[in-house]
Amino acid sequence: MATSESGGTDLPQRDPGHRGRSADGWKSSGKRMLHQAIVLLAVAVFVVLLGYLLAAFVPRWWAQWVGRRVDGSLTAGTVWGLFLGIVFTFLPLLIAWQAIARGWIKGLWKAVVVAVAVVLALPNLMTLSIVLGTSSGAHAGERILDVDGPGFRAASLWGAIIGALVFMGLVWLAGTNRARGRRVRDLKTEIDHRDEAERARVDGADAGA
């Protein structure tokens, strides 16, 4: 430790440039964090506003779309409900299952396939937004379907149940076929091993004779 001429101890001097660089680093980090916080806040506000707009618009628009096709007919409402419920439940589940079960779908493509499944499920999701929604658009959609789309909501529910059951049956059948195929391959391998052992035994007996 260095001492001064007066006998005192000289304390190590800090580099003022280092303090300046440290302060600049803190300022830069603070600005970056503030910028990220502002961006996240803006995205959150946009998502909330978009949700409110969709909640007000989508249920009413979907109910009008259904109402124009059903046109107050209970039979047409039942047919349309069953069709949309079955098809747009079965297909999204099937596509999402492919993304999960198939090993050759990886990375970004897996997310793309799942997104396609969600898009295909939109008809049922929009019907669900009318049934379970509490917004003014959902209530307006309910009133429209009461008049122009009788039977559609109940038929959509039954169609979704049927579509899900068909999908589960397909998954069970595929799993059963794979298990049966594995058992057949294992049995064939066992038979081949027995045949090889039998041939080796016969060859050994012939050689001994």
Neighbours of 61 (CB within 10 A): 15
For 58-91, write each residue's pLDDT tens digit.
899 999 999 999 999 999 999 999 999 999 999 9
| Position 1 in a domain | no
Tell whether pTM > 0.75: no
| Position 19 in a domain | no
Residues 6+ apart with CB under 8 A from 4: 10
**Average pLDDT score over residue span 174-203:** 76
| Position 22 in a domain | no
Helices and strands counted in the chain (H then E): 6, 0
Looking at residue 1, what is its pLDDT? 47
- In percent, the amount of the chain with pLDDT more than 70 equals 79
| Position 81 in a domain | yes
- Residues 103 and 105: their CA atoms lie apart, in Å, by 5
What is the tally of structural domains in the chain?
1
| The pLDDT of residue 140 is above 50 | yes
| Position 193 in a domain | no
CA distances from 162 to 1, 83, 119, 158 (A): 86, 10, 20, 6
**Tokens standing for 46?**
């946009």
Band (115; pLDDT cuts 50, 70, 90):
confident
Residue 130 domain boundaries: 32-180
- Residues 166 and 32: their CA atoms lie apart, in Å, by 52
